[in-house]
Amino acid sequence: MPTISRWTRTASATATIGTVVAVALAAVPYFAARAETALIDLFLFVALAGLWNLLAGFAGLTSFGQQAYLGVGAYALHLYASAGVDPAWGVLLAAVTAALVSLPVSLLVLRLTAGYFAVATWVVAEVLRMLATVSPRVGGNTGVSLPGAGRHPLVLWHAITYWWALGLMIASVIGIGLLMRSRFGLDARAVHAEPLAAAAAGVAVGRVRRVAYLLAALGTGAVGAVLFCHHLYVQPSSIFGPQYSVYMLFMVLIGGIGTIEGPILGALLFFALQQTLAGYGAAYLVVLGAVAMLVTLFAPRGIWGAVSSRWDVSLLPLGYRITAS
């Protein structure tokens, strides 16, 4: 008789190893503080890739403007810190602010689909960038430093930022995984596959897309605030820069869109390439482009998609598995 399951021994081993690795990473500030800076970048890359995959890979919303909420999160943190809020805790308020800003935006952009939606999200990001550029309260085009960070010793501040980045990475992986294993995940994948059929089956397509958009904005706003904590300075042309959307697109498509493992793998590959080739100037971008083209040609579902289909392996399964008993 066939057996239906949603979990495997491989998934149990993955969860166990992941827990051990997370505990070890949490202790890095105590024994390997020099690695904090690079690891913060890696953790934020994983979080951004997972959040963009939530939109494009699961809800079918290809956004070219998620940097809008990076900027909102960063500048919201500046405003809260200027008002006296400890920036170490202001990250939470900045994330909520990004989600609140995304609500009225979603009422406009979610009326569009496909390429129109993608372009609209980029326009929103550009509008917010221009608003920050002409606003003297947030430093205008020259940017601003983070108030209140100096109330913590520098070593402790670096550790706090590191733990925030690690927490965001873990929350994005676990949170999106649990979300996609829920009823909402089934609805989102149905909407992604065929919105009209999903609507005919009773799925609230608009609600699913709006929830995904708001959650992605919430997480991206938190990442923007932590980026501000990391660099202690923010400027409209950098935090609202389209390069962040390019990074997210690259990581998800290279790793494997529509999976939990793919964005993690893509972020690791992107981080490795960045660390290895960043000193070569334009050659770095050429190599990234070449890698993207090769993977698109020979592994359209991404590296993890090719691996999972070839060997029928899933480290973090989302659907049901039928096996013969």
Q: What is the separation of C-alpha 289 from the centre of its chain, rounded to a whole number of angstroms?
A: 21
pLDDT at 14: 83
- In angstroms, rounded to a whole number, what is the distance separating the alpha carbons of residues 49 and 254? 11
Long-range contacts of 119-122 (CB under 8 A, 24+ apart): 119/64, 120/65, 121/63, 121/64, 121/65, 121/66, 121/68, 122/64, 122/65, 122/242, 122/245
pLDDT at 42: 93
Q: Does 115 have pLDDT greater than 70? A: yes
Long-range contacts of 15-24 (CB under 8 A, 24+ apart): 22/166, 22/170
Instruction: Report the 10 Å Cβ neighbour count for 184.
Output: 18
Do the beta carbons of residue 253 and residue 246 sit within 8 Å? Answer: no
Q: Is 85 part of a structural domain of the chain?
A: yes
- What is the CB-side half-sphere exposure of residue 127 using CA atoms within 13 A? 7
Question: Of 281, 255, 280, 277, whose CA–CA distance to 266 is shortest?
Answer: 255
Q: Is 272 part of a structural domain of the chain?
A: no
Give me the residues paired with residue 324 across strands. 2
Do the beta carbons of residue 57 and residue 194 sit within 8 Å? Answer: no
Q: pLDDT band for 322, please (50, 70, 90 cuts).
A: low
Q: Is 314 part of a structural domain of the chain?
A: no
Q: Does 32 have pLDDT greater than 80? A: no
Q: Does 70 have pLDDT greater than 90? A: yes
Q: pLDDT band for 124, please (50, 70, 90 cuts).
A: very high
Do the beta carbons of residue 129 and residue 71 sit within 8 Å? Answer: yes
pLDDT digits (tens, 9 = 90+) for 201-256: 888 888 989 999 999 999 999 999 999 999 989 998 889 988 898 889 889 988 88
Mean pLDDT, rounded, for 152-171: 91
Give me the residues paired with residue 2 across strands. 324
| Average confidence score pLDDT of the chain | 87
Q: Is 269 part of a structural domain of the chain?
A: no
Q: Structural domain tally of the chain?
A: 1
Q: Is 18 part of a structural domain of the chain?
A: yes
Q: Which of the residue ranges 169-173, 221-225, 302-306 would you say has the lowest mean pLDDT?
A: 302-306
Q: Is 189 part of a structural domain of the chain?
A: yes
b/e map 277-316, b = 16+ CB within 10 Å: eeeeeeeeeeebeeeeeebeeebebbbbbebbeeeeebbb
Find the domain containing 161 and state its range: 2-241
Q: Is 262 part of a structural domain of the chain?
A: no
pLDDT at 267: 93
Amino acid identity, position 305: G
